[in-house]
Amino acid sequence: MTYVFQFGIVFDQFDRMLAGAWLTVQLSIGALLLGLAAATAGAFVLTAGPRWLRAPVTAYVELIRNTPLLIQLYVIFFALPGFGLRLDANAAALAALVINFGAYATEILRAGIQSIPAGQIEAGRALNLTTVQIYRLIVLFPAVKTVFPALASQFVLLMLGSSVVSAISASELTAVSNTLQSTTFRAFEVYIVATLMYLAVAVAFRAAFAAIYWAVFMRERGR
């Protein structure tokens, strides 16, 4: 039996796949920005914040890092409406991605903060800087520089893992691909194109992170 490739059927609907890929990018960038904000606060609490807050933040990090993203997504989309909080598919997808990335990034940033020599922190205290000022002016920049590659890799993993949000019909690339496959019956062609699109997005993000790292950290060192 000879298989006849018919990519033309897929390319006729390529605009829909591009729209799905664009939503994947939007969800990923939104999760990055909001998740990093949550992670910065979480890492501060774990390393220098009030003791009474450390247990809840630790519980959040451990809960999210040790449960599947798909289950977290289902809880947000299917369970929360029972408590009166109903989100549409795309909003639920974003919320799940933010919560997931925030937990992993919190642990990554915490490791970066703990890599800072204690002498630098003591020097900040000798200058009568507050804990928040020490964290913002002395600790955060070198900590982020240390863990930037890990954060970038975690983000790319999150972007690729965002395909699970198709389970709640969020209209990102995988969901669009599933719909096209079910209507065209050209599964091989559809998923090959989707794979190449994910690859292109991942490579583009990695190149962007490499450029950011050079512009923010390497160029700064050369001054």
CB–CB of 31/101 below 8 Å?
yes
Q: How far is CA 169 from CA 114, 135, 205, in A?
A: 41, 41, 25
How far apart are alpha carbons 64 and 211 in whole angstroms?
A: 30
- pLDDT of 219 strictly over 80: no
How far apart are alpha carbons 214 and 206 in whole angstroms?
A: 12
Q: Average of pLDDT values for 86-111?
A: 96
Q: Average of pLDDT values for 117-135?
A: 84
pLDDT band at 199 (very low <50, low <70, confident <90, very high): very high
Collect all residues with Cβ–Cβ distance below 8 Å to 210 and sequence separation of at least 6: none
The conformation of residue 49, written as its DSSP 8-state character, comes to S
The amino acid occupying position 56 is P
* pTM over 0.85, yes/no: yes
Q: Average of pLDDT values for 206-213?
A: 95
Structural domains of the chain, ranges and CATH numbers in brackets? 7-221 (1.10.3720.10)
- pLDDT of 222 strictly over 70: no
Provide the angle, in degrees to the nearest 10, between the axes of the packed helices 51-65 and 14-48: 150
Instruction: Write down the pLDDT at residue 161.
Output: 94
- Count, residues in the chain: 223
pLDDT band at 169 (very low <50, low <70, confident <90, very high): confident
Q: Nearest CA to 103 among 206, 30, 31, 27?
A: 31
The H or E element spanning position 130 is: none
Q: Nearest CA to 29 among 164, 210, 204?
A: 204
Cβ-in-10-Å burial (0-12, 13-18, 19+) of 107 comes to buried
Per-residue pLDDT reduced to its tens digit, 13-31? 999 999 999 999 999 999 9
- pLDDT of 1 strictly over 90: no
